[in-house]
Chains A and B, each alone.
Chain A
Amino acid sequence: MSTRTETGRPAAEAAAPSRGLAWLYVIAGGIGLLASGALTLEKIARLRDPDYIPTCSFNPVLSCGSVMDSSQAAVLGFPNPLLGIGGFAVVVTTGVAMLAGFRPPRWYRAGMVAGSTVAVVFIHWLIASSLYDIGALCPYCMVVWAVTIPIFWYSALDAWPALAPLRRVHSAILALWYVVIIALVVQRFWSYWTSLV
């Protein structure tokens, strides 16, 4: 492992960004970007032709259509996936820049935490809407749920010293987080899942 010694600089500033976090930003952000893009294209196809059945609508449970048609799908007055295209593009760009040697200063990392906090709160509201209000699951949306959580979690661990003790069990917490959401999804659509077994 090559160590670039940069003596004389304060530790906090000299610290090179974690490559793991950079790769997470590139991969998870890229997946989120693709899913948001796919949802936007489906939305456009549906606007053009109201009879269009989205490619991700398989049955009443797995149905992008019912989710896309809900009022929660355009909270700010325009389709949510546009937020995703904007947000995930920033995440990917940050990841690539970090791989290229960019060392995000404190304020930048705080910004990533702030942005991803808004995103993670938003997707949990969307999860609740999807499960308990709309009563359908949209596969592309679930991809977005799945990538937003680790982006938030590792941004927070990276930038927030108070969370330092949790670094020791970082992926256990992430796994627990996923398990809780999966359990809620399984419970809510119980009769559907049992029909597949």
Chain B
Amino acid sequence: MPTQSPRRRSPLDGPRRPSINVILTSVVVVLALVVFGTILLFGGDDDNGTTAAAPSETLVPEDAHTLSEADPDGPQVTLVEFLDYQCSACAAYYRNITSKIEKDYAGRITFVPRNFPLDIHPLAPLAARAAEAAGKQDKFAEMYTKLYQNWTDWAVQGESLRSDPKEAARQFERYAREIGLDVAQFRADIEAADVSKKVQRDMADGEKLGVEATPTFFINGKRFEPSGETFADVERQLRAELDKALG
């Protein structure tokens, strides 16, 4: 064997003999696989327990707003959505899925949007209060629709999130006018303590239910786990679960 060549050895050139490195690497990888696998397979049990059925008052408080009410004589199916008005995923869900569900299942399911404004969306708490303020004049659903249909106007500017509350407040007042609200009352309600308390209550409920991201859905108290790759897949899955619940 020739003496050491001038080629510099790097760890990537491979060991000369099975080394402590190979052994240690295998140990790390195998241990990690075993630990993750065990936790995922066996630890999943207690997680299923929490997703089985959520307490009803936490999911749908008495004063919750609805986009649609189930026929009292028919099967009672409740779809709860924890949402953030400024989140792009929520807006995309609205455009692709929930606006259609709202229409197609009107009068057959109780559709309850709950507030879950995330910290990362500067205008989300204001938008949540705007919807709740409209709710005080019995126009929650109209404001909800306005906020999502005009999402690209108030929530984003090109690729970045808007963050000027004054400008957003002006836009929301315009929507309030368009849906026929008493704008002065709306302006006062949007800053009212009971309105912001309601948003906070929704968030606290969401946290209790284990909501971490928006949108998160619950069908009759059971968390809906979207598994599709596209919105069309998720829509099909959601419709299938609603249809199953409707029997």
A residues adjacent to B (C-beta < 8 A): 1, 3-6, 11, 14-21, 23-24, 43, 46-47, 50-51, 53, 57-61, 63, 65-66, 68-71, 74, 133-136, 154, 157-158, 167-172, 174-176, 179, 182-183, 186, 189-197
Contact = CB atoms under 8 A, between A and B. Distances in A.
A3 B28 contact: no
Could you tell me the dominant secondary structure of chain A's interface residues? helix
Given A43-B159, A53-B231, A190-B47, A134 B9 contact: no
A66 B6 contact: no
Given A59-B227, A174-B25, 13 more contacts: A5-B6, A15-B6, A18-B10, A20-B14, A51-B152, A53-B92, A57-B89, A58-B230, A65-B88, A71-B161, A74-B160, A175-B29, A194-B47
A181 to B, nearest CB: 11
B214 interface: yes
Nearest to A58: B229
Contact of B10 (A20, A66, A169, A197): A20
B17 to A, nearest CB: 12
A79 B27 CA distance: 39
Interface residues of B, number: 58
B3 to A, nearest CB: 9
Q: Which secondary structure dominates where chain B touches chain A?
A: mixed
Contacts of B11: 20, 154, 157, 167, 170-171
Contacts of B21: 168-172
Given A60-B215, A171-B21, A71 B160 contact: yes
A3 B1 CA distance: 11
Nearest to B23: A172
B226 interface: yes
Interface in B173-197: none
